[in-house]
């Protein structure tokens, strides 16, 4: 497998070829270019799960800018519709990636840009996806009430299948942190029920966690929500262990796992174990997270680890050398994290302009 410069040269050659084919298709877009954009979208969705966020964001921006150039042409209505759908999905992926990189304001702007395209198309599944993404962004900013309300609004558009389950789980964890354990528990139950119901839409076919939540991450998020509810710790552990087993087994057919999923589940388990005084099992659960390279130390993980560090200051761990060492490792993790990095071209004015035009 090519790496480094060799891989970049191959990718550049492919991009140049598809750009030239795009120019050869007269005034309209042509099925070949649309097919390439759909393939690009599926590839970007996979890379959002498995790639390093910083270079992946740059690739997303390249595809977005290419679509912007296409929108400058004379287009048939069907072609513009197809471009708006891809652009709305890419904007959502960029927003998620920007949030992971530690840029929530930019992430919100990108998600709202995608929302304008979803509204122009009257596309309910895309609205649901984007509400789930914006709910997540607000959650990691500590705005639990807004996160809850956004997830609830998203359920107006989609309430079944993997996407419906995602929205129910977003509602569950935000409700738990907002101080409503009953609503959180009910939302977890609703998520399991939604997951079992048959459902299909044109976004599920894109693949990746952002459009088709894997079963492993479904249980991971359920466990994370239940971990916030006093008295639900045992059920939370069961969900999180189930998630970790599924991560270890690898993705099921048609699924893909976010590379941060298993570390995320481990951090949630560590918090539960620390609350019962289990320092050794907590340290073991943190190993997948603490061993991540800096380029994959994204905001959700650093935010959760900060809460673990707070647990380590509890009176029960006072004077413990192991607790102190674990706290130092978490501090070092955050210091080396990618969240302080800023991708080049962090300017989305043109994207917002297109979004406003799409809504007119």
What local confidence, expressed as pLDDT, does residue 341 receive? Answer: 54
114, 92 Cβ separation under 8 angstroms: yes
Measure the CA angle with vertex 249, ends 232 and 43; round to 5°. Answer: 105
Ordered per-residue pLDDT tens for the chain, 360 residues: 445 554 555 455 445 555 544 554 455 678 889 999 999 999 999 999 999 999 999 999 999 999 999 998 888 888 999 999 999 999 999 999 999 999 999 999 999 999 999 999 999 999 999 999 999 999 999 999 999 999 999 999 999 999 999 999 999 999 999 999 999 999 999 999 999 998 989 999 999 999 999 999 999 999 999 999 999 999 999 999 999 999 999 988 788 999 999 999 999 999 999 999 999 999 999 999 999 999 999 999 999 999 999 999 999 999 999 999 999 999 999 998 864 454 444 455 445 544 555 555
Task: Indicate whether this model's pTM tops 0.95.
Answer: no
Q: Domain of 313? A: 260-337
How high is the pLDDT of residue 350? 47
315 within domain boundaries: yes
Q: Are 264 and 169 contacting, i.e. CB atoms less than 8 angstroms apart?
A: no
Angle at 221 between CA 302 and CA 223, to 5 degrees: 100
57: its two tokens: 């964001």
String of DSSP letters for 32-60: HHHHHHHHHHHHHHHHHHHS-HHHHHHHH
Number of compact structural domains in the chain: 1
DSSP H helices, the chain, are: 4-23, 31-50, 53-71, 77-100, 104-121, 124-140, 144-154, 161-178, 181-196, 215-226, 233-249, 261-275, 279-290, 299-311, 321-335, 349-359
Query: What does the block give as tokens for 136?
Result: 């997540």
Q: Does 229 map to a domain?
A: no
User: Looking at residue 251, what is its pLDDT?
Assistant: 87
In a domain, 268, yes or no: yes
The C-alpha atoms of residue 42 and residue 29 are separated, in whole angstroms, by 19
Residue 346 falls inside a structural domain: no
243 in a structural domain: no
Residue 253: the pLDDT is 79
Q: Helix crossing, 4-23 with 31-50: angle to 10°?
A: 150
């Amino acid at each position: 497998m090519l790496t480094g410069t060799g891989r970049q040269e191959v990718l550049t050659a492919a991009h140049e070829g598809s750009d030239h084919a795009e120019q050869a298709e007269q005034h309209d877009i042509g099925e070949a270019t649309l097919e390439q954009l759909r393939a690009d979208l599926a590839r970007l969705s996979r890379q959002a799960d498995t790639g390093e966020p910083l270079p992946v964001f740059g690739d997303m921006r390249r595809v977005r800018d290419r679509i912007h150039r296409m929108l400058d042409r004379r287009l048939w209505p069907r072609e513009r519709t197809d471009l708006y759908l891809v652009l709305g999905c890419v904007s959502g992926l960029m927003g998620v990636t920007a949030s992971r990189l530690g840029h929530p304001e930019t992430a919100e702007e990108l998600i709202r840009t995608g929302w304008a395209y979803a509204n122009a198309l009257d596309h309910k599944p895309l609205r649901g996806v984007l509400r789930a993404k914006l709910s997540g962004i607000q959650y990691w900013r500590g705005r639990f009430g807004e996160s809850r309300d956004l997830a609830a609004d998203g359920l107006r558009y989609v309430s079944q299948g993997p996407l419906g389950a995602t929205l129910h789980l977003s509602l569950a964890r935000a409700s738990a942190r907002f101080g409503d354990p009953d609503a959180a528990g009910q939302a977890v139950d609703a998520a399991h029920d939604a997951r079992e119901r048959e459902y299909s839409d044109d976004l599920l076919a894109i693949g990746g966690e952002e459009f088709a939540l894997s079963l492993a991450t479904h249980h991971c998020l359920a466990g994370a929500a239940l971990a916030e509810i006093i008295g639900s710790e045992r059920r939370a552990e069961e969900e999180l262990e189930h998630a970790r087993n599924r991560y270890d087994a690898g993705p099921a057919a048609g699924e893909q796992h976010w590379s941060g999923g298993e570390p995320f589940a481990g951090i949630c388990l560590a918090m539960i174990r620390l609350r019962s005084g289990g320092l050794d099992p907590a340290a073991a659960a943190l190993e997948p997270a603490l061993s991540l390279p800096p380029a994959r130390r994204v905001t959700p993980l650093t935010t959760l680890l900060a809460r673990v560090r707070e647990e380590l200051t509890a009176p029960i761990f006072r004077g413990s050398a192991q607790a102190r060492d674990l706290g130092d490792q978490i501090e070092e993790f955050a210091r080396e994290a990618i969240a302080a990095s800023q991708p080049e071209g962090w300017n989305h004015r043109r994207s917002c302009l297109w979004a406003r035009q799409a809504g007119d």
